[in-house]
Amino acid sequence: MKVLVTGGTGFIGSHTCCELLDADYDVVVIDNFSNSKSDVIDKIKKITGKDFKFYEGDVCDKSLLNKIFSENKIDAVIHFAGYKAVGESVAKPLMYYRNNIDSTLSLLETMNEFGCKKIAFSSSATVYGKPKSLPIKEDFSLSTTNPYGSTKLMIEDILRDLYVSDNDWSIAILRYFNPIGAHKSGLIGENPNDIPNNLMPYIVKVATGELECLSVFGNDYDTPDGTGVRDYIHVVDLAKGHIKAIEHILNSRGVDAYNLGTGHGYSVLDLVKTFMDVNGVNVKYKITDRRPGDIDACYADPSKARDILGWEARLGIEDMCRDAYNFVKNVKED
Ligand code: UD1
């Protein structure tokens, strides 16, 4: 079976390529390195001992997509490619809508033309907005608070409409909770060049001394220790969820959304303390004001993915903290 992975050199995409290759899928990747580095290609090959085809370019580029589908008989697509920084999306909404929506439309049109109607889409728990209760189930109402989230929700709607128009499609919408961690090899992971927006990359940069102090955004939330609670999920577990989703859509029709989370919530301070314990490093932090738009707590009910896809997260926050630090130490030693 041949799977096209858009954004396959990114954080989640690269780990998913490893899992696909390990599971003996043929893999074709398209990426324009807008938020990744080209050396990831060789690292995926080194980890898996397997080769795959790579096309450098933009998913908005229909002529490139045409070439890829003409040169490869693609059975299914995993669509990761897209901009993903919440703050940037607020500052540059047109860029986000143009890129994320345009690329998806180009991809779906090309898939339709080539009769490839199986896709797993990289969505986010951000589509639940401020959930009415916890844990979050897939049938909760959907709303968004920023253009990035809106692009995810719009694409979900496009996919649902597409299925209504043509029941041959098989579509898995994967709603990620908070992916962190890295591959245990230490070769691939997340290491943003800019000052990170997200918690774990920030913790790591404080631990390595690149940044001085973590700001904990608020300790007056309605949570056990007052800091924000999230469902952190190891990126390798998340990647394995994609393999299960692909197995499912290859053998079914329909459109369905699945929460990919662990079902457990940890606070900012839980994560910081666990990181310090498992890695034996200090992470200096201070409590600051809340970050606008943040919610108290967010964690998944992942039972639908367990019951239908046969997937469950296995790794704990100790693994996530250890692997995230191991990767960045490795990068710095290179
Ligand atoms: C955000 C996005 C989500 C995206 C996810 C991973 C929204 C509302 N959120 O989730 O869509 O999938 O990133 O890319 O769209 N925190 C600090 N200090 C920091 C950074 C974060 O205390 O320097 C706290 C936050 O207040 C929050 C928790 O850590 O309680 C997690 O924050 P973050 O890693 O940014 O993820 P989310 O905001 O949950």
Domain ranges, ordered by start, for the chain: 2-182+232-263+310-315
- Please say if the pLDDT value at position 30 is more than 90: yes
Banded pLDDT at 191 (limits 50, 70, 90): confident
- Please say if the pLDDT value at position 332 is more than 80: no
Ligand 1 pocket residue status of 259, Cβ below 6 Å: no
Q: Name residue 2's beta-bridge partners.
A: 26
Whose alpha carbon is nearest atom 15 of ligand 1? 126
Which residues are within 8 A (CB) of 277 and not within 5 positions of it... i.e. 6 or more apart? none
What are the pLDDT digits (tens) for 45-67?
999 999 999 999 999 999 999 99
What are the pLDDT digits (tens) for 192-226?
878 999 999 999 999 999 999 999 999 999 999 99
Q: Cα(209)–Cα(252) distance, rounded to whole angstroms? A: 49
Q: For the chain, list the strands marked E by DSSP.
A: 2-6, 26-31, 53-56, 76-79, 118-124, 170-176, 178-180, 214-217, 229-230, 232-234, 254-260, 266-267, 285-288, 297-298
Local structure of residue 213 (DSSP, 8 states): -
Lowest mean pLDDT among 19-28, 303-312, 323-332: 323-332
Local structure of residue 224 (DSSP, 8 states): T
- Please say if the pLDDT value at position 232 is more than 90: yes
Banded pLDDT at 172 (limits 50, 70, 90): very high
The CA angle 281-287-292, to the nearest 5 degrees, is 120
Please report the pLDDT score of residue 193 as a whole number.
78
Kindly list the catalytic residues: 148
Ligand 1 pocket residue status of 228, Cβ below 6 Å: yes
DSSP 164-186: HH-TT-EEEEEEE-EEE---TTS
Q: What is the CATH number of domain 2-182+232-263+310-315?
A: 3.40.50.720
Name the residue of 121, 122, 126, 295 whose CB sits within 8 Å of the most ligand 1 atoms, as the mutation to test its pocket. 126
Please report the pLDDT score of residue 77 as a whole number.
99
Mean confidence (pLDDT) of the chain: 97
